[in-house]
């Protein structure tokens, strides 16, 4: 009997019925998904069946050690993981998840593949991993270089799982809640890597899909609350909500567009309870001119509410008030980042910003040449921004996860209390999303 | 391929179909979108104008066309000072909170770079996509664009495919090369329908291979005739359902017109094809004519020789790696072919006939630099002789009656009897008295009648007898057969006298 890795699956030559496998007529072998590798090994060993194991083809690797020292809670988390070499660790943003991951690599001391949601995080991980003193690989849309430690995105890992699935012993999923989506789940299924670590600040998903992960990564084995770290490791902060009124002309345009949208909902007998219901309207817009106009109006209304001139005026006031502070301004829309950047001459970062310019901006922010930056969603998850003590949210969608992580951005232990402002337009749908978010 | 949000489908369980756009009907819209791509316009200007063309019926079409055009157009950033440099200069002066402050900083930086405030405003964001300027117009006609659009819709629908089935009349090398290049797997049914899936498809219904399956479509459509069906997985109100998608070459006019061109794996094969083509009169020589099943793979024979019901394959095994040879031999051993197969094997491979002992092939021959024509020609001849003989035997058993008082058309009897014309010729010759000419048989009574007509003309010339020959539908060769000599004195048929052969 012989086990071979074939494009995300384990092909088993030789007869014998093995759990989790299925006969494949196309190749005349038995076949199982990659992640069953360990189960199959265990089964064969326990049944005293001799087999040749050609599954893993690990990237040749030197010793992978570093000499970082972990904080007590980080060490505690790592110790918990080491017991089974699988499972999810939940640590708040800013608590140094990356360090726990590096601790795991050091412990396993074998080729490791790290999967993160965004290219920003790829850059950040690579930078941190430089303490291993070897060249760190990257497998993404922009670069494909495999090294004993390689960082990739969920998208690239999904696209190339069948090629990479047997090259690494340890898989690290950063922001592991992403893995729960139906598509990304297949990354974990197609990789044969026996060791798996999930990291997250917010493991529980509203759709409960995270429960599906336990078979693929292991369940939650450690969690530490933000409260336990606040003070010593994370700074305290206060939140202030500022409500602004739309300009009269904005208000008129807003009301008009909302009316078109609402009238359509009423006539089509649709009640909006969540994004699902809205998608229904979008679906209809292909055949129904009124649905199409409704969607257009709704988008216009949203844009008015998000990009209101009153918000920019309020922002100007806040900027004057915080001349001597270090500010990070968030907005969800790239266009709005541009508007803020252009009007206030504040460097802006979106996912379109070129890598070198982004690096320059963050560098100059760090050295205090710039005292403010404005950014869209890109900074949502873990990009290592230099410390700031004032955050201003100009818009948001209102999921609890996003809110928490945005906060985490400025909760860097920089001493002194951090302040967070949230500027919302009154009398618009936005109030509702923001309130939902807080609850 | 388009982004998924631009896909429009009609569903009628269990069927799903993209909303293809008729080339004639939508050409005007395609033209309108195309016209917006004017040299010197910025991306932002173009996309604004294009979005004004959208109606509720066409907004996805318009956006889709524009997406395809964006990929074929070239845009360029235009500025006199690097925007990044300008921004840094502005930003390092600190943020501003009023218009006056902003103007002040702008003019300050303007002094540094020797630019006016307006010039700074122009260059400041010139590296944003919206401000890039069109420098090369997409090289495509509105009709081609629509065809490309329909193809892209098909591919985008297939993003959600869990399985793709197809048949094709040709272009096999490209299609199967691509399947294996893309890491897909397939099975072939007896009717040669190919089902393509990915390795893990066996273990779970997955859309993972959808985008990869979509890449096969252009190659399949290059075949003269094709048909494809796919299982599409979509969510309908939170439930996962499978829909069926079907398309075939009858709708080919909706799609790009590119067809496969004949290609050869090697010069040796090209050379062989060129040489033999002129020698195989009546037979058609086809390059990679079909796929054959071989265990759970396909084999694509290099050539087939075909005439009427007769067909055989010729597979060339040239110089390759040992692994390739081993695979090839395995395929040849297991091939399921109803037609005979010949193998031309390169001598330098060091194979012997015994390597092919168990192979399902008729004949193996070896070659050095050139594939010899002789084995093939001999075979063609043998088939001719063999089938003629078999047919004659058949005719003898049937005893075919013919009228003796009229000219017999060989071809029409052959068709009626389902045999080769050559068999009819042979059968008639051995059964009846008479002569052959021009695909006709003239029974003796007819010959006599014709001879009498010719004799009725005094000192006949060739020009005189031609009308007679024409009425019988025979050629001048008949004259010799029935005992006349043509005495040419010039090329002029009026002067060619017909005399009885003595």
Residue B296: give its domain's CATH number: 3.40.1350
Predicted confidence band at A363 (pLDDT cuts at 50, 70, 90)?
Answer: confident
pTM over 0.80: no
State the count of interchain CB pairs (< 8 A) between A and B. Answer: 101
Q: Give the highest mean pLDDT range of A309-313, A348-352, B93-97, B339-343.
A: B93-97
Average confidence score pLDDT of chain B? 88
Predicted confidence band at A330 (pLDDT cuts at 50, 70, 90)?
Answer: confident
Tally of domains within chain A = 4
Dump pLDDT digits (tens) for B443-460.
989 888 988 888 888 888
pLDDT of residue A206: 61
Domain boundary among B217, B249, B281: B249
**Token representation of residue B86:** 């300008």
Alpha-carbon span B316 to B302, nearest angstrom: 6
* Of residues B88, B96, B199, nearest to A8 (C-beta): B199
Interface check for B93 against chain A (CB to CB < 8 A): the answer is yes
- Give mean pLDDT, residues B364-369: 85
pLDDT of residue B80: 92
Is a pLDDT exceeding 90 seen at residue B416? no
Burial class of residue B27, CB neighbours in 10 A (0-12, 13-18, 19+) = middle
Is a pLDDT exceeding 80 seen at residue A408? no
A331 in the same domain as A214: no
B419 in the same domain as B348: no
Alpha-carbon span B2 to B63, nearest angstrom: 10
A109 in the same domain as A255: no
Residue B7 lies in a domain: no
CATH code, domain carrying A20: 3.40.1170.30
Interface check for A171 against chain B (CB to CB < 8 A): the answer is no
**A190-194, A424-428, B424-428: least confidently modelled range:** A424-428
Collapsing DSSP to helix, strand or coil, B181 comes out as helix
Note whether ipTM > 0.90 here.
no
- Alpha-carbon Rg for chain A, nearest whole angstrom, is 25
pLDDT of residue B83: 95
Residue A64 lies in a domain: no
B493 in the same domain as B411: yes
Contacts of A32 in chain B (CB under 8 A): 203
Interface check for B44 against chain A (CB to CB < 8 A): the answer is no
pLDDT of residue A6: 92
Residue A6 lies in a domain: yes
Contact B92 A24 (CB under 8 A): no
In this structure, what are the phi and psi dihedrals at residue A149, rounded to the nearest 5 degrees?
-115, 120
Higher local confidence (pLDDT), B60 or A305: B60
Is a pLDDT exceeding 90 seen at residue A166? yes
Residue A316 lies in a domain: yes
B344 in the same domain as B272: yes
Residue B33 lies in a domain: no
Query: B447 lies in which domain range?
Result: 399-500
Residue B63 lies in a domain: no
Strand segments, DSSP code E, in B213-368 are 226-236, 239-248, 284-287, 292-294, 297-299, 303-307, 310-317, 335-336, 341-346, 363-367
Residue B254 lies in a domain: no
- Give mean pLDDT, residues B118-136: 93
Interface check for A289 against chain B (CB to CB < 8 A): the answer is yes
Q: Give the highest mean pLDDT range of A178-187, A292-301, B243-252, B301-310.
A: B243-252
A333 in the same domain as A208: no
B319 in the same domain as B409: no
CA atoms within 13 A on the CB side of A60: 0
Interface check for A387 against chain B (CB to CB < 8 A): the answer is no
- d(CA A319, nearest CA chain B) in Å: 7
Alpha-carbon span B196 to B422, nearest angstrom: 46
Domain boundary among A306, A326, A344: A306
- d(CA A289, nearest CA chain B) in Å: 5
Proportion of chain B in helix, strand, coil states, percent, rounded to 5 = 45, 20, 35
A363 in the same domain as A271: no
B414 in the same domain as B365: no
Higher local confidence (pLDDT), B435 or A198: A198
Dump pLDDT digits (tens) for A243-259.
888 889 999 999 899 88
* B residues 222..251 contacting A (CB < 8 A): 238
Query: A32 lies in which domain range?
Result: 2-54
Dump pLDDT digits (tens) for B244-291.
999 999 999 999 998 888 888 788 888 898 888 888 777 888 888 899
**CB distance B311 to B339 below 8 Å:** yes
B373 in the same domain as B407: no
Residue A59 lies in a domain: no
A209 in the same domain as A95: yes
Nearest residue in B to A315, CA atom: B97
pLDDT of residue A413: 43
- Give mean pLDDT, residues B316-343: 80
CATH code, domain carrying B172: 3.30.70
pLDDT of residue A428: 67
A163 in the same domain as A261: no
pLDDT of residue A377: 56
Collapsing DSSP to helix, strand or coil, B432 comes out as coil
Alpha-carbon span B281 to B442, nearest angstrom: 26
Is a pLDDT exceeding 50 seen at residue A118? yes
A214 in the same domain as A288: no
Bridge partner list, B10? B17
A41 in the same domain as A12: yes
Higher local confidence (pLDDT), A277 or B27: B27
Bridge partner list, B46? none
Cα–Cα–Cα angle for B16, B18, B24, rounded to 5 degrees = 140
Tally of domains within chain B = 4
CATH code, domain carrying A172: 3.40.50.300
Predicted confidence band at A436 (pLDDT cuts at 50, 70, 90)?
Answer: very low
Instruction: Report how far apart, in Å, the C-alpha atoms of B418 and of each of A117, A305, B309, B390, B402 are.
Output: 70, 82, 10, 12, 16
B238 in the same domain as B163: yes
- Give mean pLDDT, residues A213-217: 88
Residue B327 lies in a domain: yes
Is a pLDDT exceeding 50 seen at residue A438? no
Burial class of residue B470, CB neighbours in 10 A (0-12, 13-18, 19+) = exposed
Residue B30 lies in a domain: no
Predicted confidence band at B205 (pLDDT cuts at 50, 70, 90)?
Answer: confident
Residue B132 lies in a domain: no
A182 in the same domain as A151: yes
A286 in the same domain as A170: no
What spatial distance separates the first Cα and last Cα of chain A, rounded to whole Å?
A: 57
Domain boundary among B249, B280, B305: B249
pLDDT of residue A198: 96
Residue A231 lies in a domain: no
CA atoms within 13 A on the CB side of B459: 2
Interface check for B60 against chain A (CB to CB < 8 A): the answer is yes
pLDDT over 90 percentage in chain B: 42
A211 in the same domain as A137: yes
Residue B200 lies in a domain: yes
pLDDT of residue A375: 85
- d(CA B316, nearest CA chain A) in Å: 26
B291 in the same domain as B201: no
B322 in the same domain as B368: yes
A173 in the same domain as A112: yes
Tell me which residue has tokens 């005893």.
B399
Residue A229 lies in a domain: no
Domain boundary among B321, B348, B381: B381
Residue A232 lies in a domain: no
Task: Please state at what angle helix B410-417 crosses helix B421-431, rounded to 10 degrees.
Answer: 110
B481 in the same domain as B423: yes
């Amino acid at each position: 009997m012989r086990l071979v890795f074939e494009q995300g699956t384990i092909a088993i030559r030789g007869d014998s019925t093995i759990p989790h496998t299925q006969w494949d007529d196309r190749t005349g072998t038995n076949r199982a998904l990659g992640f069953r590798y360990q189960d199959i090994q265990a089964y064969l060993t326990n049944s005293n069946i001799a087999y040749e194991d050609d599954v893993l083809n690990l990237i040749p690797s030197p010793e992978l050690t570093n000499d970082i020292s972990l904080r007590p809670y980080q060490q505690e988390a790592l110790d918990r993981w080491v017991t089974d070499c699988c499972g999810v660790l939940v640590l708040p943003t800013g608590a140094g998840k990356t360090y726990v991951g590096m601790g795991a690599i050091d412990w396993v001391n074998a080729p490791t593949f790290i999967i993160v949601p965004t290219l920003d995080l790829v850059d950040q991980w690579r930078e941190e991993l430089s303490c291993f003193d070897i060249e760190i690989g990257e497998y993404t849309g922009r670069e494909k270089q495999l090294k004993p430690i390689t960082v990739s995105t969920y998208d690239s890992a999904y696209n190339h799982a069948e090629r990479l699935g047997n090259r690494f012993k340890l898989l690290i999923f950063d922001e592991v809640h992403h893995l729960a989506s139906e598509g990304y789940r297949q990354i974990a299924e197609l990789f044969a890597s026996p060791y798996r670590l999930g990291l997250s600040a917010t493991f529980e998903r509203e759709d409960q899909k995270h429960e599906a992960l336990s078979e693929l990564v292991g369940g939650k084995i450690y969690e530490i609350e933000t409260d336990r770290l606040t003070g010593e490791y994370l700074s305290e902060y206060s939140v202030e909500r500022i409500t602004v009124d739309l300009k009269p002309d904005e208000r008129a345009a807003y009301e008009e567009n909302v009316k078109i949208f609402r009238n359509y909902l009423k006539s089509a007998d649709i009640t909006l309870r969540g994004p699902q219901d809205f998608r229904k309207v979008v679906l209809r817009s292909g055949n129904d001119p009124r649905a199409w106009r409704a969607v257009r109006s709704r988008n216009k209304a949203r844009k008015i509410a998000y990009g209101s001139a009153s918000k920019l005026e309020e922002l100007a006031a806040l900027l004057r008030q915080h001349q001597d502070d270090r500010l990070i301004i968030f907005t969800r829309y790239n266009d709005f980042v541009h508007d803020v950047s252009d009007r206030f001459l504040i460097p802006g970062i979106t996912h379109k910003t070129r890598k070198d310019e982004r690096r320059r901006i963050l560098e100059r922010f760090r050295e205090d040449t710039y005292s403010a930056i404005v950014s869209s969603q890109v900074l949502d998850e873990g990009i290592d921004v230099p410390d700031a003590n004032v955050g201003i949210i100009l818009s948001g969608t209102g999921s609890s996860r996003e809110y928490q992580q945005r906060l985490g951005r400025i909760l860097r232990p920089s001493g002194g209390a951090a302040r967070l402002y949230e500027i919302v337009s009154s009398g618009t749908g936005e109030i509702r999303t923001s309130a939902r978010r807080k609850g | 391929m388009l982004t998924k949000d631009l896909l429009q489908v009609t569903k009628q369980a269990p069927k799903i179909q993209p909303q293809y756009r008729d080339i004639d009907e939508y050409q005007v819209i395609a033209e309108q979108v195309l016209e917006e791509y004017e040299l010197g316009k910025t991306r932002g200007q173009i996309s604004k104008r294009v979005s004004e063309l959208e109606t509720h019926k066409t907004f996805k079409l318009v956006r889709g066309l524009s997406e395809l055009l964006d990929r074929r157009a070239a845009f360029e950033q235009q500025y006199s000072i690097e925007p990044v440099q300008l921004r840094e200069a502005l930003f390092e002066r600190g943020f501003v909170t009023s218009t006056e402050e902003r103007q002040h900083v702008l003019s300050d930086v303007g002094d540094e770079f020797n630019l006016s405030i307006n010039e700074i405003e122009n260059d400041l964001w010139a590296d944003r996509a919206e401000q890039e300027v069109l420098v090369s117009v997409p090289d495509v006609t509105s009709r081609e664009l629509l065809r490309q659009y329909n193809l892209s819709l098909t591919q985008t629908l297939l993003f959600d495919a869990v399985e793709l089935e197809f048949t094709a009349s040709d272009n096999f090398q490209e299609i199967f090369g691509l399947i294996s290049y893309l890491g897909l797997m397939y099975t072939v049914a007896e009717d040669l329908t190919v089902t393509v899936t990915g390795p893990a498809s066996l273990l779970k219904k997955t859309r993972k291979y959808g985008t990869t399956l979509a890449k096969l479509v252009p190659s399949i459509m290059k075949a003269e005739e094709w048909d494809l069906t796919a299982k599409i997985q979509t969510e309908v109100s939170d439930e996962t359902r499978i829909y069926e998608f079907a398309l075939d070459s009858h709708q080919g006019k909706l799609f790009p017109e590119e067809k496969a061109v004949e290609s050869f794996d090697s010069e040796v094969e090209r050379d062989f094809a060129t040489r033999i083509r002129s020698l195989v009169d009546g037979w058609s020589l086809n390059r990679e004519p079909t796929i054959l099943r071989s265990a759970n793979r396909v084999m694509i024979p290099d050539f087939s020789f075909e005439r009427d019901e007769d067909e055989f394959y010729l597979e060339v095994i040239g110089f390759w790696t040992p692994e390739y040879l081993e695979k090839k031999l395995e395929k040849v051993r297991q091939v399921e072919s109803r037609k005979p197969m010949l193998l031309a094997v390169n001598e330098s491979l060091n194979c012997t006939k015994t390597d092919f002992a168990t192979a399902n092939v008729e004949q193996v021959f070896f070659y050095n630099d050139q594939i010899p024509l002789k084995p093939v020609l001999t075979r063609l001849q043998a088939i001719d002789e063999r089938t003629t003989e078999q047919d004659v035997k058949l005719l003898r058993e049937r005893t075919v009656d013919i009228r003796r008082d009229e000219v017999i058309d060989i071809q029409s009897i052959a068709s009626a009897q389902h045999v080769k014309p050559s068999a009819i010729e042979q059968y008639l010759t051995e059964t009846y008295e008479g002569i052959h000419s021009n695909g006709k048989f003239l029974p003796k009574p007819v010959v006599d009648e014709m001879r009498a007509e010719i004799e009725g003309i005094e000192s006949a010339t060739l020009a005189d007898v031609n009308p007679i020959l024409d009425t019988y539908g025979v050629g001048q060769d008949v004259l010799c057969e029935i005992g006349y000599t043509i005495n040419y004195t010039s090329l002029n048929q009026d002067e060619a006298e017909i005399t009885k052969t003595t």
